[in-house]
Structure 1
Amino acid sequence: MSAARVVLWRHGRTRANAEQRFQGQLDVPLDEVGRAQVAAAAAELAALEPAALVTSDLSRAADTAAALSAVTGLPAVPDPALREVHAGAWQGLLHTEITARWPQTYAAWRRGDDVRIGDTGETRGEVARRAAGAVERHAAAVPDGGTLVVAAHGAALKGAVLQLLGLAVTGWSVLAGFRNAHWAVLVPVSGGWSLAEYNVGPPGGGVGAEG
């Protein structure tokens, strides 16, 4: 039992994304633009004939997954291990507010250092291992040759990609941030994973702010 393809799909836009506000694990819903983005993305992903669909339990990811469920009939299985990075005291703040109050830590986070954010939040390494572990667990349960779609969050998915490729999280800037409603495709190779596609998605998916 193992997936032949894993699609890592970031949620659509939220109001917090549009405002450049750090969401972290706050439960922020999709906005009108986000709902349109995920509907367009779901139409494309349905053509991949996914065999399984899992999602973060935060509503912006769950509602993203629901758009694919609506066109495929696949149930979306929630998994809290796919939540966004926990950002501690940064959660709910504008990125400009974080820069003003935690200039050194925020600068380190932006350049990819493995620092603990928001005083009590997670490090990049912690979220990468958590999210990658969930992806591998669900991929192992997919019937051979099937496609797994994972609906989750920008920082969690980017960390998972690096972890699954065997790359250090300190190389964060090697990959661009996930755009809203865009996805990456991983395929299994001997002893690991290979990145087949990255930041693929429908027209109109804005970059959005990580977190």
Structure 2
Amino acid sequence: MTANRVILVRHGRTTWNATARFQGQTDVPLDDVGLGQAQRTAEALYDQLVGTEVRIVSSDLSRAAQTARALATKLHVEIELDPRLREISAGEWEGRTRDEIIMAWPEDFESWRMGRDVRIGTTGEKRSEAADRCAAAILEAEKAMDHGTLVCVSHGGALRGAIFSLLGTPDWPWNALEGLRNAHWAELQNTERGWRLSRYNVS
């Protein structure tokens, strides 16, 4: 029993995205641009999903839940919230701009920028930790379906890591994939030969 495909959607824009502040697990809602992005993404996905079985699972942070709700409203399905789909916890970096972080933690920021699997913001998570919990939530939801499409609405860092985790990619080549843009999505399929990434950064 598995879904036919899994669509991973990043939330729309927030004011912190617009000002390049690390959000992590701080609960920042969508701004007006983000609300518009969520609606356009809902319309694009609706055209693909209407009339099929769809399950929507979202991070419980408001920016993701708002993005998920736009699609759920059009499809007349319920949203399930799962905190395992939250963004990577960024510890003391949350709420700070990149320039502020570089000033306070230059070596740590450079390690993070280079894609290394380091603990973020001293008290935050490693990329691998966030990836594994996010991938576990995706797998659990996907295995509970016998057909149709699973839509997971989450966050850029958590989703990129989950994709690497599901693909079984060794050595965490973080910079091999560009970041998912706001309100864009990736599509995966669970085939007989394992997970396959079929589309990425679609809008």
TM tier relative to shorter chain: over 0.9
| Among 61, 66, 71, the residue aligned to 2:69 | 66
Q: Retained in 2: the 8 A contact 1:114–1:169?
A: no
Deviations 1:143-192 (A, max 9, x none): x2210000000000000001101113630001000000000000011252
Deviation at 1:23, TM superposition (A): 0.3
In the alignment, the residues of structure 2 paired with residue 169 and residue 145 of structure 1 have an alpha-carbon distance, to the nearest angstrom, of 32
Contact 2:42 2:74 in 1 (8 A): yes
Match of 1:34 in 2: 34
Residue 186 (str. 1) matches residue 188 (str. 2)? yes
**C-alpha contact 1:62 1:151 (8 A) present in aligned 2:** yes
Gaps of 5+ in 2: none
Q: Provide the rounded CA distance (Å) in 2 between the counterparts of 1:110 and 1:192.
A: 30
**Alignment size in residue pairs:** 200
What are the equivalent positions in structure 2 for 1:59-138 lying under 5 Å apart? 59-138=62-141
Letter in 1 for 2:150: L
Paired residues of 1:86 and 1:121 also in contact (CA < 8 A)? yes
Specify the code of the residue in structure 1 equivalent to 2:14: T
**Cross-structure match for 1:146:** 148
Asked whether the 8 Å contact 2:84–2:134 carries over to 1, the reply is yes
When the two structures are superposed, what TM-score results if normalisation uses the length of structure 2? 0.96
* Equivalent residue, structure 1, for 2:202: 200
Runs of 4+ in 1 over 6 A off after TM superposition: none
3-state DSSP of counterpart to 2:67: helix
Following the alignment from structure 2 to structure 1, what is the Cα–Cα distance between the partners of residues 133 and 54?
A: 23
In structure 2, distance between residues paired with 1:83 and 1:38: 18
Please state whether the residue corresponding to 1:48 is helix, strand or coil: helix
What is the root-mean-square deviation in Å for CA atoms of aligned residues?
Answer: 1.0
Residue 48 of structure 2 aligns to a residue whose secondary structure is: coil
Paired with 1:175 and 1:189, the residues of 2 have a C-alpha distance of 21
Distance 2:193 2:109 in 1: 35
The 1-side partners of 2:195 and 2:46 are apart by 23
Would you say the 8 A contact 2:164–2:172 is kept in 1?
no
Report the CA distance between 1:141 and its aligned residue: 1.0
Q: Identity rate of aligned residues, in percent?
A: 50
Q: Is this contact kept in 2: 1:24–1:87, CA < 8 A? A: yes
Amino acid at match of 1:85: I
